[in-house]
Amino acid sequence: MQKSSKSPVQIITVDADFAEQRIDNFLICRLKNVPKTHIYRILRKGEVRVNKKRVQPSYRLQSGDLVRLPPLELDVPAPLPTPHQRIVNLLKERILHEDKNLLIINKPSGLAVHGGSGVKLGVVEILRTMYPKLPHLELAHRLDSDTSGCLIFAKKRSILKELHELFRVGGNIRKIYWALTKGRWKSSELRVNEPLRKNIMQGGERIVRVHDEGKESLTVFKPLETFVDAMLVEATLYTGRTHQIRVHAQYRGHPIAGDEKYGDREFNKKMREKELKRLFLHAYSVEFTLASIDQHVRVEAPLDDDLMKCLALLRE
């Protein structure tokens, strides 16, 4: 049986980071163990007060507002498992950039970005245990579990909002990936401007396909190194769709090595002979400007040793 406890009346002073956020979204984020239906009920009944007044769920908070929360029955969540020290040390070693606003790491392949769906601890949960004074450390974007490379976290909500806006408007964040692909690309194939649509297959597996009714998607590929039956390419994302690079590469007939979902079985088998045991997709660099603090950031994540070893064997 899940335990619960009753909280006392709380008075919360809204700081500048949460200015302009709707009161309902503010409470949903803050009261993670309270059902949304109950949050809207206490708003509707006027049990939540802002500056001693009733407010609608659509009210946008201002810096300095005093939010009164009534006593609440809170489910006490089961404590998260403690991450293994080996994983903590690994993430410490893979920090690429850190300041008071940002944290950028070189995410290892095989590690999910967040918990859920059978994953108890993702990168964000592990980092929160490493930064106990930053409980609201948040992902600015996502990478597939099997993809390694640059992963951005925001330490402040204002920075998170700014990053989300940069990601929303294509081209404001320059993301470059490196991928090992099947065959040799022709110059006419390098620009892939094909809409992508997400489908849910039987068993709940998520799959993405090029589809006329999908969302606009643009990837530009650039050859970096040519091998006998493979090519190392640079992929620049101009939109951020799920599995975009993997599906666009497959659509052109050049699936990514080690891709179990969209890849080529025989090509994957050949690459396993070159000791490739994972998806060869790596978020190599990220570049953006935070106008609010006049900060330009450019970070590169070196290829992991296993990917470097595969390339060395291909060169032989």
CB 144, CB 243: distance < 8 Å: yes
CB 198, CB 246: distance < 8 Å: no
If you ran DSSP here, which 8-state letter would residue 46 be given?
T
Largest CA distance in the chain: 74
Catalytic residue of the set 144, 146, 259, 264: 144
Instruction: Sort strands 102-107 and 95-98 into parallel, antiparallel or unpaired.
Output: antiparallel
N-terminal to C-terminal alpha carbon distance within the chain: 60
CB 7, CB 74: distance < 8 Å: yes
Three-state DSSP state, 99: coil
Alpha helices in 123-264 (DSSP H): 123-130, 157-168, 244-251
Measured CA to CA, the distance from residue 17 to residue 159 in angstroms comes to 9
| DSSP state letters, 145-165 | TT-EEEEEEESSHHHHHHHHH
Measured CA to CA, the distance from residue 158 to residue 156 in angstroms comes to 5
**Active-site residue, 144 included:** yes
Nearest to 47 by CA among 104, 9, 86, 91: 9
Query: 123, exposed or middle or buried, with CB in 10 Å at 0-12, 13-18, 19+?
Result: buried
Instruction: Sort strands 281-290 and 148-154 into parallel, antiparallel or unpaired.
Output: parallel
Alpha helices in 14-111 (DSSP H): 23-30, 36-44, 85-93
Alpha helices in 180-261 (DSSP H): 244-251
Q: Catalytic positions, please? A: 144
